[in-house]
Amino acid sequence: MNMAETKMNYKIIDREKYYRKSVFRHFSEDCKCSTSMTARIDVTALKDWSKKSGTKFYINFLYILSKVLNSRDDYKMALKWESGELICYDQINPIQYVFHDDTETCTPVYTTYYADYNVFYKNAAADIEKAKGTRDYGLDSQNHPNWFDASYISWLSYDSLNIELPDGYLYLLPIVNWGKYREESGRFVMPVSVRLNHAIADGYLIAKVFKLLQDEMEDFVKARLI
């Protein structure tokens, strides 16, 4: 990807040199649409390690997901509606959610991504505990432009999920959902849904997220079993 000027926490992309120039033009002008995909990934090793280490599977997966989405520029894209600039953030961070049983509502939780697992885990756990003390929705997208949506659907091990966004709104950051894992043939698999705007991602790039998740989970566990 050809990048031009560096500015604050993002890089402005020269659309004439962008490697997906023609695709971007088509799906941002002629056929504005998003694309999403759901697949089941094997989380057996991460589930087992989380239990043995006394850590939360949910936070461990959130860390791995954040690491994967920060590993490739295609997943960190955005369009600045004020100027029309196509940009790539240096880093994107997860908006996770806390569900309140008493009100049956959610509170968004802004958690900064750190490559250091221990730092991320400690902060994510603290963010969750703090959010449990409020019932406010607290969405603050204006002050959190480089945050992506990461939502756990804890009540269901689903087979398909589709996120609908208006075709005219070029929202480029990822939206990722995942459900309960379930046992199949002695292994534990978990449904994960990835939504990206078609202007900056196609089937290959979405499918790549699942491959990267599987590989990163394997590396994550292996590194901690040595």
| 135 token code pair | 């019932």
pLDDT tens figures, 78-105: 999 888 899 999 999 999 999 999 999 9
Given the residues 26, 100, 144, 198, the one annotated as active site: 198
pLDDT score for 2? 39
Confidence of residue 225 (pLDDT cuts 50, 70, 90): confident
Known catalytic membership, residue 198? yes
pLDDT for residue 108 is more than 80: yes
How far is Cα 196 from Cα 174, in angstroms, rounded to an integer?
5
Closest CA to 178 of 162, 193, 163, 164: 193
How far is Cα 23 from Cα 9, in angstroms, rounded to an integer?
25
pLDDT score for 138? 87
Q: How many C-beta atoms lie closer than 10 Å to residue 96's C-beta?
A: 25
Q: Output phi, psi for 25, to 5 deg.
A: -60, -45
Confidence of residue 165 (pLDDT cuts 50, 70, 90): confident
